[in-house]
Copies of this chain bind each other. A is one copy, B any other.
Amino acid sequence: MSQTISEGDHVLLYLDRRRTYLVKVEKEKSFHTHKGFIQLEELIGKEYGTGITSSMDIEFVALEPTLRNYVFKMLRKTQITYPKDIALIIMFSGIGPGSRVVEAGTGTGALTTALAFYVRPEGCVYSYEIRQEFRETASKNLERANVSGNVKLKNKDVTEGIDEQDVDAVVLDLATPWLVVPHACSALKGSGTIVSFSPTIDQVMKTVEALRENAFVSIETVECLMRRMQVVKGRTRPETLMTGHSGYITFARKTLGKERSEDKHAGKR
């Protein structure tokens, strides 16, 4: 539906691909850039996609922020999970509208935001985080992206257990995922998905071992490289710099019957 900008909305002011600003539209408030200032009030009642001119006569476009914009513009205290990885985590795990998902740890809430966005309107993300300052930052980030209604932030150490039962997915982005695998196994519904994101191969090795010991099947680990293209007539080429590594993503699915996969991998049957 065509939408107009209201007071209190967030807009993404776009100058060019490298210069975008996520700002809240408030009356009597101006936004200052090195290209002059912008009277945000002027945007109220305008349609998203409208141009707005700064005091230095430079045109910006007022875009409606997408999920990805919110994720990139997070208030940060830690390294955020990359959108490319978030995309795979969600799509490959089967998480979608209505899913009940356990996440740990919350961190600044980048992945939490995306999970909450996709489980809407009925689903819920139970996000575990023991560090108070992170819960506070995450809370603000979730508010800003309008998805806090689908998240329960929990002040609890996930390595000591998961309260929820029969959840569709458990998503781990923490230093010692293997310690959470047995709890994830208990919390997941039969056939549910566990996902773990880890920067190092050592973490992956330990996690996969724990998954094998806990009757998970369909265990797979992937990494995703994304490269940007410069598309300009006569000068089309991949960009020079790219992120060479963010992390490995491991997926697995819970089976009922704990002994099974252990036996199988030990080759005893």
Contact = CB atoms under 8 A, between A and B. Distances in A.
A125 interface: no
Contacts of A254: 49
A237 interface: yes
Contacts of A223: 226-227, 229, 238
A78 interface: no
A198 B228 CA distance: 14
A92 interface: yes
A161 interface: no
Interface of A is mostly: mixed
A198 to B, nearest CB: 9
A194 to B, nearest CB: 12
A114 B91 contact: yes
Contact of A241 (B3, B87, B220, B243): B243
Interface stretch (A127-135, A151-159, A185-193): A185-193
A182 interface: no
Given A94-B67, A114-B91, A236-B202, A61 B255 contact: yes
Nearest to A253: B63
A243 B222 CA distance: 13
A229 B236 CA distance: 14
Contacts of A255: 49-51, 61
A149 interface: no
A25 to B, nearest CB: 14
A164 to B, nearest CB: 11
22 contacts: A1-B100, A17-B219, A48-B191, A50-B255, A50-B257, A61-B253, A63-B253, A67-B94, A67-B96, A83-B91, A83-B92, A86-B91, A97-B121, A121-B121, A201-B236, A224-B224, A224-B227, A225-B226, A227-B244, A231-B250, A240-B244, A240-B245
Q: Which 3 A-B pairs have the closest CB atoms?
A: A49-B190, A242-B244, A66-B94
Given A3-B189, A83-B91, A242-B242, 11 more contacts: A1-B166, A3-B190, A63-B191, A67-B91, A87-B91, A90-B91, A91-B91, A199-B237, A201-B236, A221-B229, A225-B227
